[in-house]
Structure 1
Amino acid sequence: MFTGIVQGTAELVAIEEQPNLRTHVIRMPSLAWGEGLTLGASVAHNGCCLTVTRVEGDLVSFDLMQETLRLTNLGLLQVGDKVNVERAARFGDEIGGHAMSGHIIGMAEVTSVIDTPNNRQVWYRLAPDLMKYVLTKGYIGIDGASLTIGEVGEQAFCVHLIPETMARTNLGWVKAGWQTNIELDPQTQAIVDTVERVLAARGEK
């Protein structure tokens, strides 16, 4: 489980291609970030839960299967790019964001970025079948960052970013046209799907 409080960004320093598999090697910004990190541990990259497969000093490796590369923006990364990183939450940690699983539902395209003093508004276009789960003031995970939804349109929504979020995450240099990983709030999904089933059943009667 993750909290959506991104600890910072880590550079992708190597990509190893194998049949139906890709290995990403990232450099932890400091040894403290990797303290106690062992094989099999979970670390979120842009919100996607990955498993540690190798640790060599500040270099940590992760294997990505084809489904991960297809569903997330990790398949678009190149050496030198940076990813938002969060280590798995531990019992007793403060949950400053909201509970997140690290399971990406799909990607949203950045349509516009509006900068004003000490604030940034970013608009995203999401697939219509997923927009029904996006509600004003609800929670959403964007590249692993727990954010509150601002306005909601027919096929788009926006979030507002404070300077701390821009400094700590890749949202600080996001541009129109970028593809971002999305994790929806599972409670909202469950409620919407349940209501739809109930209304459908009543309609059949």
Structure 2
Amino acid sequence: MFTGIVQATVPVISVTRHPGHIALVLDLPAPLLDDLKIGASVAVEGVCLTVTGIDGSRIGFDAMTATLDRTNLGRLQAGGRANVERSAKPTDENGGHVVSGHISCTAELVAVQTGGADAFLRFRVPEDWARYIFPRGFLAVNGASLTVAEAEGNEFTIYLIPETLRQTTFPDYAAGDRVNIEVEQQTRITVDVLERTLERVLPRLLQAGRG
């Protein structure tokens, strides 16, 4: 599990494409190398990946085709950057919210401003996911725990403080790019339970009212 607090933006050293997967190599800073082992979980742009190789500070990961189809990891290129968070320990402070690293969907950025006092992201999600997103709700966007400020249909706006811009890859994005969205699991469960309950109960109430 993760907290949605991005610990570093790190250089992408290489992206090697193979049949069925890509191999990524990222250069992690010293504080994130402590006790890192093969098989450890690391969130890369919000996607939970498994460490497959360690060569000093250069850390390898594989992303399978199914992961690439569901996320924006296919956009990573050598010379670029990626948000990184090590998996959380039970004793770690959670300054964000509980994040699994399992991406719900990708969203298209319809407007982006990363300069000045009114920095924001505005994005559009698939209709099936819009019902889980609402003002003041939590989302993980590229692994960063953020709060939704505005909602209109299936478009949503998140405002960004300078520290978030400094600590993430959001300044690398432009309108038309896609970002990784993870809906908060408890929100999803609550909405699904309420919808199923209403589907069962509402017809009975309407029938009773007609009686």
TM-score normalised over the length of structure 1 = 0.95
Task: Write the distance in 2 (CA, Å) between the matches of 1:62 and 1:173.
Answer: 22
The structure that has the greater radius of gyration is 2
SS at match of 1:101: coil
Alignment partners' CA distance in 1, 2:149 and 2:40: 34
Q: State the Cα distance separating 1:52 from its structure 2 match.
A: 0.3
Counterpart position of 1:139? 138
Q: Larger % of strand: which?
A: 1
Distance in 2 (alpha carbons) for counterparts of 1:56 and 1:113: 36
Structure 1, gaps ≥5 residues long: none
Question: Is 1:89 aligned to 2:88, yes or no?
Answer: yes
- Is the counterpart of residue 53 in structure 1 residue 52 in structure 2? yes
Aligned twin of 1:180: 179
Please say if residues 3 and 146 of structure 1, whose CA atoms lie closer than 8 Å, have aligned partners that are also in contact. yes
The answer on whether the counterparts of 2:15 and 2:76 sit within 8 Å (CA) in structure 1 is: no
Q: Deviations over 1:89-128 (max 9, x none)?
A: 0121110000100000110011112467433121001111
For 1:116 and 1:76, how far apart are their aligned partners in 2? 23
Residues 132-170 of structure 1, C-alpha deviations (whole Å, 9 max, x = no match): 000110100000000000001111001010000001101
Whole-Å Cα distance in 1 between the matches of residues 154 and 21 of structure 2?
Answer: 33
- Correspondence 1:8-87 to 2 at 5 A: 8-28=8-28, 30-87=29-86
Secondary structure at the counterpart of residue 30 of structure 2: coil
The 8 Å contact of residues 114 and 171 in structure 2, kept in 1 or not, is answered as: no
Letter in 1 for 2:38: L
2:149–2:159 CA contact under 8 A, matched in 1? yes
Q: 8 Å contact 1:72–1:181 — kept in the other structure?
A: yes
CA distance, structure 2, for counterparts of residue 24 and residue 88 of structure 1: 18
What is the CA–CA distance in structure 2 between the aligned matches of 1:95 and 1:68, rounded to whole Å?
Answer: 26
**1:166 match: secondary structure:** helix
* 1:105 matched to 2:111: no
In structure 1, what residue type is equivalent to 2:26? I
Determine helix, strand or coil for the equivalent of 1:119: coil
Pairwise CA distance, 1:201: 1.3
Report the secondary structure of 1:182's partner residue.
strand
Q: Is the alpha carbon distance of 1:8 and 1:188 closer, same or farther for their aligned partners in structure 2, counting shifts above 3 Å?
A: same
Please give the alpha-carbon distance, in whole angstroms, between the structure 1 residues aligned to 2:43 and 2:114: 28
Query: In structure 2, what residue type is equivalent to 1:12?
Result: V
When normalised by structure 2's length, the TM-score is 0.92
State the distance in 2 between where 1:10 and 1:166 align: 14
Q: CA deviation at 1:19?
A: 2.3
CA contact (8 A) 2:139 2:183 kept: yes
How many residue pairs get aligned? The number is: 204
% identical aligned pairs? 40
3-state SS, counterpart of residue 69 of structure 1: helix
State which drifts further: 153-162 or 6-15.
Answer: 6-15
Alignment RMSD: 1.3
